[in-house]
Structure 1
């Protein structure tokens, strides 16, 4: 852990960080799009979608193939700041199973060096990358379960898992930290309108923003999101122009 109390205080004053509680655990939310768990020295990032640019270019989309470089550069700076014991990449880290074959040698080397800087790096499987590409360090897993009797019970996975109940409705199993939905939102402050990526959570579900350079988003007022996150219960933390604020 590299962050100090003084650094944390400075960043909170600048509003580049926000603190929240989820599943009886204290979380630091960073305006750069990652969540940090101080008690375990874990850093969580989601939906890198590496090589999405080259994938779209192969279908005729006029996009530069520089997204992996930009995404890795931003992640590199964050890991330098926190120097976490563990990084959890919460699914869809690679845009498709051929991403590594399209990645430039320099980006592959940069990615490998970044992973090896961290004591433990966990690649949670996503719908875009159910299999970890060959030749990349780190450990692949379907999900990560964090449990302490009487204190917390939370699982890290890419998509939420629900349990059907007798009346035909669905409810979420244990507290979950997920990615997949790329949440974004719009809000008005002092008659000015803002929009941006966000973290959004209820008591049972915490949805990470997408970190990748070319990742779009799903508005938290979309019916898909409303079905998962009750509007009266949810809390959102929007990121805009380098700051983060709760709504």
Structure 2
């Protein structure tokens, strides 16, 4: 753990970080799209979707193949700030099973250095990446359990424990003093906590869409929106 009281106080005052409670744990929600559990020294990130750009380009979409570079550079900066004991990548870390064959040598080496420089890196399997690519360090798993809380990629409707998931890429639109804003968000109720997507080219699902309202009804959810490098509750 690298964070200090002074660093945290400054980040909270600047609204770069907000503090919340879920499943009896205090969480630091970072406006860069990651969550940190101080009690465990765990950093959680979700839906990196590495090499989504090159995947879309193969279908004639006019996107630059620079998303992996950008995603890894942002993640490296965050890891440097927190220096966590464990990083949990909560599924869909790789956009498809051929991602590594399209990744540049530089990005592949960058990714391996990131993982090797953390004491423990857990790759939770997602629907895009059920198998960890060959040659990538870290530990693959289906889920991670912490007391009465489980970390997995997709929600399990029969689960009695609190769940931390990714998959949905939640986004929120809101209006403040006649100005409209839209951004990624964290959203949760007592049973489910949904992480924002971290990847450079990841889209989003509005939390007022039916599938999200079924999972997290308005009356029970709280929402922390990310916009212009700050995070605020809406």
Counterparts of 2:25 and 2:80, CA distance in 1: 23
Q: Which residue in the other structure is 1:169 paired with? A: none
Q: TM-score, normalised by structure 2?
A: 0.99
Deviation, structure 1 residue 202: 0.3
Deviations 1:47-86 (A, max 9, x none): 0000000001111111100000000000000000000000
Matches for 1:219-230 after TM superposition, within 5 Å:
219-230=206-217
Deviations 1:175-203 (A, max 9, x none): 00000000000111112111100000000
Counterparts of 1:160 and 1:38, CA distance in 2: 24
Match of 1:239 among 218, 226, 229: 226
Structure 2 residue ranges without an equivalent (≥5): none
Q: TM-score, normalised by structure 1?
A: 0.94
Q: State the SS of the aligned residue for 2:50.
A: coil
Deviation, structure 1 residue 108: 0.2
Counterparts of 1:146 and 1:101, CA distance in 2: 34
Q: Which residue in the other structure is 2:193 paired with? A: 206
Q: RMSD of the alignment, in Å? A: 0.6
Q: Which residue in the other structure is 1:83 paired with? A: 83
Deviations 1:73-130 (A, max 9, x none): 0000000000000000000000001101110000000000000110000000000000
Q: Which residue in the other structure is 2:179 paired with? A: 192
Counterparts of 2:175 and 2:24, CA distance in 1: 30
Contact 1:161/1:173 (<8 A) preserved = no
Aligned residues: 234
Q: Which residue in the other structure is 1:166 paired with? A: none
